[in-house]
Structure 1
Amino acid sequence: MPDAVHGTIFTLLKRYVQTQYDHSTWVRLLEAANLSAVDFDHKSVYPDEHMYALVGQAAEMTGVSADELHEKFGEYLVPDLMYMYGRLVQPEWKTLDMIEHTELTMHAQVRSEHAENAPPVLDVTRISPHELYIDYVSKRRMGALAVGIVRGLATYFDEADQISVEPTTSENGERVRIRVLQQPA
């Protein structure tokens, strides 16, 4: 199977759509994406094309760009991701620490559990205690999701007013550079 998205992400996408809109919007979205017969199971994986179809249709239905939808969904994902991978997080970590350790902790865990699932590669360079760059690499071209997750982490760690997130390249490329800067409290 080519790159695949874990069913948990689809389950959370369904919940996001139902929370932000309603259940009928989710049903219409599935039908518009020609996925009406699909019942996403959180333990399975699904082709990337399913995610592209759903996000593309959601963008068309809402008039919101796919990048903006990815960002909002990324922010929404954080509490669930922290719950799922909390055992891998050190108690002293905050936003920048989480980003710096994601590749070797959470992404390594995902890859070991599901060989067919390929989370993006995050090459993080810590410039200073208050600044880092993320080089996001993925054929999925979902850098906007990563931007949203970073913003969601800042909210999760109650640092949203201190953290600025700035993509320095197009968010929908295979390689996306994201600057994350924390202002002193």
Structure 2
Amino acid sequence: MHGTIMTLLKRYVQTQYDHATWVRLVEASGITYSDFEVQAVYPDQDLYTLVGHAAEMSGVPAEELHEKFGEYLVPDLMLMYGKLVDPTWRTLEMVENTEKHMHVHIRHQNPGHNPPVLQVERLGKNELQVEYVSPRRMGALAVGIIRGLAVYYNEEDRIEIEPVTSENGERVSIRVRRN
């Protein structure tokens, strides 16, 4: 897992709860470090373990935490990759172009960093079918990011996001509509 994601997870826990919660979470997870280097790559299992223990501690299902974290990530992702974003895009256009603009850039700039593959099909002017493909099985995070994009573009009341398959599979189908 990219160090940026791990760093943002730490900040998410600290802002949603507090620093003491982060410390308890790291201790419960058995991870020997609590600070992450942004450019480093960490075992995916570290994120799964942290989120799993956070789910146990909070009573919130892990998939829901992944979604909430995905929503939280969007402003930082837009700040990091804003130069790759066309200013005329809104939620659907952003989702439609993430693979060919942001993910290709990430893979090229940082070999070894493997964002999910997003296969996006435009079904109509106001509808997309997204196929999330990743052995990480973090489709809920992708759903959260799409929800976060709708908030970012002030379209949260106009965008419907419907996972068509289980959000914890290697391949997750997500339907996104603008009303």
TM-score (norm: length of structure 2): 0.98
Aligned to 2:99, which of 99, 103, 122? Answer: 103
* Aligned equivalent of 1:93: 89
State the AA in 1 paired with 2:137: R
Question: Where in structure 1 do 4 or more consecutive aligned residues deviate above 6 Å?
Answer: none
Q: Deviations over 1:30-84 (max 9, x none)?
A: 1111114342111111010111111111111111111000000000000000000
* Residue pairs, 1:66-77, within 5 angstroms: 66-77=62-73
C-alpha distance after superposition, 1:136-159 (max 9, x if no partner): 000000000000000000000000
Whether the 8 Å contact between 1:27 and 1:36 is mirrored in structure 2 is no
CA distance in 2, matches of 1:36, 1:120: 27
Please, which runs of 5 or more residues in structure 1 have no aligned partner? Answer: none
- Residue 146 of structure 1 corresponds to 142
Q: Compute the TM-score of the two structures, normalised by the length of structure 1.
A: 0.95
Q: Do 2:25 and 2:50's aligned partners in 1 also have CA atoms closer than 8 Å?
A: yes
In the alignment, structure 2 segments of 5+ residues that lack a partner are: none
| SS state at 1:31 partner | helix
Q: Which amino acid aligns with 2:161?
A: V
In the TM superposition, residue 112 of structure 1 has moved relative to its aligned partner by: 1.0
**Match among 22, 29, 52 for residue 26 of structure 1:** 22
- In 2, the alpha carbon distance for the partners of 1:40 and 1:48 equals 13
